[in-house]
Structure 1
Amino acid sequence: MSRRRLPGEVRRGLRDVAPIMLGVAPFALVAGAAAVDAGLTPMQAVGLSVVVFAGASQLAAIDLFGSDAALAVIVLTGVVINLRMAMYSASIAPHFRPLRARWKAISSYILTDQAYALSIARYANEELDATERRRYYLTVGGSLWVVWQCCTALGIVVGARVPDSWGLEFAVPLVFLSLLVPAVSSRPKLVAALVGGGVAIAGDVFAVPLDLGLIAGGIAGVAAGVATDAWLADGSAGSAGEDEGSH
């Protein structure tokens, strides 16, 4: 089928997702290479990528696999990291209500940060019918899935041939740092990053049982971020009250 004969929302989805795929590709390459470096077989690494299909939780699981963490801890860590998907689902679900069950199941599987963000923005800007919404979302989410799986497989092949002396175990922490730095855009986020990272590192240094330091760091970071946000909001409200009183 020629590009001109593709449905309009398919063409729009491909156009919108193309720049994002350029950033997803190296992320997936690292995930594949790191999985092999952590001791997974190529088939296990591919299976993990297909079943999980979630960048941050996939890398966290690989890191925990490499440190021989308990399976329950690995699964719990992945669930905690992906809790935001529940909020995404609740937000986008009304747009998919007319769809059949099989389309809803496929849509839930390929839900990612990027697919959600692009689709919600598209639905807000124009009135689309159920078929158009489905075509756009599946094009965006499906394209990301294909790129992720192909690049992960390439990373697995490359990672299996990388000598141990190259120190590939540093790839996962570096990727997380690359994701963290742009996200620290406010004081609450900075506090959350420092507290969460500090607790996670302390858990590793002091050998917290079952490798629960990562989960403890995540919980502590969220709590610290929320507390800082509330403290700043209270301070702003207090300052506003004083200014009104002075008038």
Structure 2
Amino acid sequence: MNNPIPLSSRTDFLAGAQAITPIALGVIPFGLIAGVAMVNAGIPPHHAIAMTIVSFTGAAQLAAIDLINRTAPIAVVILTAVIINLRFTMYSASLAPYFQQFDSTMKWIGAYLLTDEAYAVSITKFRGTEWNRQSQKWFYFGAAISFWATWQISAAAGVLLGSSIPAGFSLEFAVPLTFIALLFPALDDRPTEFAALVSGSASVLTAILPLNLGLVTAALIGVAVGVSYEFRRGMFPVTTHVSTTEADVSEGCDAA
């Protein structure tokens, strides 16, 4: 029987899965917290698992659960989730040059699977590396699908275990540790370091803003500072080079 995925693509897929494994393991407690929170909010288990699959966004999901638990209007719940997830527009814009040759189906699936962790692992790998389209695609999906599976399983475990998980475990410690692990590998040049410093400081100063707007505000400030830094030194805009293999060309001709 022929394998549906070529050997080279499987290698790229497994490379992505391997790259994100340490981070995925660190997010398991976060998933357990989300599952327990949904049960404590009175959400039926099958609804809670469906919510995790459909939304697939930890921070916004926890915020939504908290609002649901406080009987907030559904419009407030949705608006809060949308605002928290605005950062993904920046992530997708950053990844767009690498995936501009994806077909619509792959783009929609990739957008659904996009997370902080999958973005950080992928963009760190892609920078300075001339990969062909297929290698980039399978590396990204290897990382993103592996993280998706880990989150779904850990959240479902939290739903099923519910209040049987002792409160003294303090699982919330894993959340900041996960994002710290994502941050430092991405600090690979002076503009990025400067942007991180400014946005981190801004996030503290804007933490008082309602609806978690401080997160988005700080991120936008960091982006503006980073771009300004690069622009003043003639480093912006940057042209992204993606190599094209014969397989890519032939695939494009077949698609046409």
TM over 0.5: yes
Matched to 2:89, the amino acid is A
Where in structure 2 are the equivalents of 1:54-93 lying within 5 Å?
54-93=57-96
Partner of 1:189: 200
Q: How far 1:91 moved relative to its partner?
A: 1.2
Q: How far 1:222 moved relative to its partner?
A: 3.4
Max radius of gyration: which structure? 1
Higher share in helix? 1
What is the RMSD of the two structures over their aligned residues, measured on CA atoms? 3.4
- Write the distance in 2 (CA, Å) between the matches of 1:129 and 1:220: 34
Partner of 1:222: 217
List 4+ stretches of structure 1 deviating above 2 A: 5-8, 160-163, 174-183, 185-196, 217-223
Partner of 2:151: 148
Matched to 2:149, the amino acid is V
Where in structure 2 are the equivalents of 1:1-247 lying within 5 Å?
7-159=10-162, 161=164, 186=197, 189-190=200-201, 192-193=203-204, 195-196=206-207, 199=208, 214-215=210-211, 218-219=213-214, 222=217
Contact 2:29 2:171 in 1 (8 A): no
Greater shift, 122-131 or 139-148, is seen at 122-131
Contact 2:122 2:139 in 1 (8 A): yes
Q: Percent identity, please.
A: 34
- Write the distance in 1 (CA, Å) between the matches of 2:216 and 2:132: 41
Matched to 2:131, the amino acid is L
CA change 1:188–1:111 in 2 (3 A) is closer
- Residues 53-99 of structure 1 show CA distances to partners (whole Å, capped at 9, x for unaligned) of 11111111111111111111111111111101001111111211112
- Write the distance in 2 (CA, Å) between the matches of 1:10 and 1:180: 23
Matched to 1:51, the amino acid is V
What SS class does the counterpart of residue 127 from structure 2 fall into? helix
Partner of 1:233: none
What SS class does the counterpart of residue 98 from structure 1 fall into? coil
Q: How far 1:117 moved relative to its partner?
A: 1.2
- Write the distance in 1 (CA, Å) between the matches of 2:22 and 2:171: 23
Matched to 1:130, the amino acid is R
Matched to 2:134, the amino acid is T
User: When the two structures are aligned, how many residues end up with a matched partner?
Assistant: 205
Q: How far 1:190 moved relative to its partner?
A: 4.7
The two structures have a TM-score, normalised by structure 2, of 0.68
Partner of 1:241: none
Tell me, which stretches of 5 or more residues in structure 2 are unaligned? 184-195, 226-256
- The structure with higher relative contact order (CA 8 Å, sep 6+) is 2
Contact 1:33 1:159 in 2 (8 A): yes
Contact 1:26 1:151 in 2 (8 A): yes
- Write the distance in 1 (CA, Å) between the matches of 2:179 and 2:124: 24
The two structures have a TM-score, normalised by structure 1, of 0.70
Contact 2:86 2:216 in 1 (8 A): no
Q: How far 1:218 moved relative to its partner?
A: 2.7
- Write the distance in 2 (CA, Å) between the matches of 1:193 and 1:120: 26
- Write the distance in 2 (CA, Å) between the matches of 1:58 and 1:162: 20
- Write the distance in 1 (CA, Å) between the matches of 2:103 and 2:144: 18
What SS class does the counterpart of residue 189 from structure 1 fall into? helix
